[in-house]
Copies of this chain bind each other. A is one copy, B any other.
Amino acid sequence: MSDFSLSVGVLGATGAVGQKFIRLLENHPWFTITKLGASERSAGKPYEVAANWIEPSPMPETVKKHVVSTCNPEAFSGVDFVFSGLDSSVAGEIEGAFAKAGIPVISNAKNYRMFDEVPLLVPEVNPDHIALIDKQNFDPNGKGFIVTNPNCVSVPLSMVLKPLQDAFTIESVVLTSMQAISGAGYPGVASLDIMGNIIPNIGGEEPKVAEEPIKLLGKLTDTKVENAEIPIQATTVRVPVIEGHTLSISVNIKEEISDVAEVLKAFKDWKNPIEDLDLPTAPKHPIFVTDDDFAPQPRKQSYDEGGMRTTIGRVRLTEVMDISLIALAHNTVRGAAGGAILNAELLAKKGYLGK
């Protein structure tokens, strides 16, 4: 018997992230989709008509005939909470309205990520930050709140930095991220722009990648999260890869270390704080360090452990920055819908959902 039986809505259900939510929730043991919300244009239509399904596996039968609503809280009465895959152009207003109406919002949108009282959450990195929820005052009745997951690069970057932060004093980070086309949504990147090519910039990405990890790695105080003091310099580029972001990360640490084994030990000794919670979507090894000198590779390792693992390879001591490595994570699973679902599982376990 499963621990929970919660009914959920999906906001932005016809978009790329919304579709990923629907697919990942298809056989979820705790959460059952009971409402789908999208724009006016889709409202009133069966989901199979409203959505241009782009997921590789077939549309679940359970949602095909489901009639899509607009994204207003009244239409979602009865759900225990909603996942939001809304575009940032509308997420601010709609998510706020849902929280105000008493419906918890587990959001993948960027709008509320840097709000003081909103947890920017990666369960393996900063599960304690969920205490911020109590600071929120969207809903006078205290039921509605917002929890966000970070950008698809910030997730593996914070997963890499957390064990290093636990073991050392991180002074700075230099990052070049090689990002898959699926990160741009659909239709997203034109094939004429990216086939056999690299686009050396992703609009608006670099600031997010510099800001979000230091909140994730920050220390929870009584009133807010005190950001970690780690300058992160990011260059984000688009590569002709379908799924899986590859990060070339260099880290300066305060300590003098002379053996790469000390770095490997930091990863090995790291204790996964949610290891014992048995969350359905949690990977057994959220961090996996490989000694294959030609790994990780996005086409080959992105789907390991259901796309929820961060794989780390090529760990080296280097001359300019102290540590260099390559990290890989699935950008639309771990870095988006899958990450949000894991957040909801943690919140359910901790008693924040289904009250």
Binding site for B on A (CB under 8 A): 54, 56-58, 172-174, 176, 178, 181-182, 186-201, 231-233, 235, 237, 239-242, 246, 248, 250, 252, 293-300, 303-304, 313-314, 318-321, 324, 326
Contact = CB atoms under 8 A, between A and B. Distances in A.
A192 B54 contact: yes
Contacts of A176: 176, 235, 248
A87 to B, nearest CB: 17
A56 B191 contact: no
Nearest to A302: B56
18 contacts: A57-B304, A172-B319, A173-B320, A174-B250, A174-B321, A176-B176, A176-B248, A178-B239, A182-B192, A187-B187, A189-B190, A195-B196, A196-B299, A198-B246, A200-B248, A200-B296, A232-B319, A235-B324
B324 A233 contact: yes
A311 B298 CA distance: 28
A169 to B, nearest CB: 15
Contact of A198 (B194, B231, B239): B239
B242 A326 contact: no
A105 to B, nearest CB: 27
A196 B294 CA distance: 16
A187 B186 contact: no
A197 B301 CA distance: 10
A309 to B, nearest CB: 11
A192 B196 CA distance: 11
Contact of A326 (B189, B200, B313): B200
A201 B246 CA distance: 12
Q: Which 7 A-B pairs have the closest CB atoms?
A: A187-B190, A197-B299, A176-B176, A233-B320, A176-B248, A191-B191, A172-B320
Contacts of A182: 192
A199 B58 contact: no
Nearest to A181: B191
Contacts of A294: 199-201
A190 B190 contact: yes
Contacts of A188: 190-192
B192 A241 contact: no
B235 A200 contact: no
A200 B296 CA distance: 7
A87 B57 CA distance: 33
Given A56-B300, A240-B241, 13 more contacts: A172-B319, A173-B320, A174-B174, A174-B320, A186-B192, A191-B195, A196-B242, A197-B300, A200-B296, A233-B318, A233-B321, A235-B248, A235-B250
B197 A241 contact: yes
A314 B294 CA distance: 29
A194 B201 CA distance: 22
A187 B186 CA distance: 12
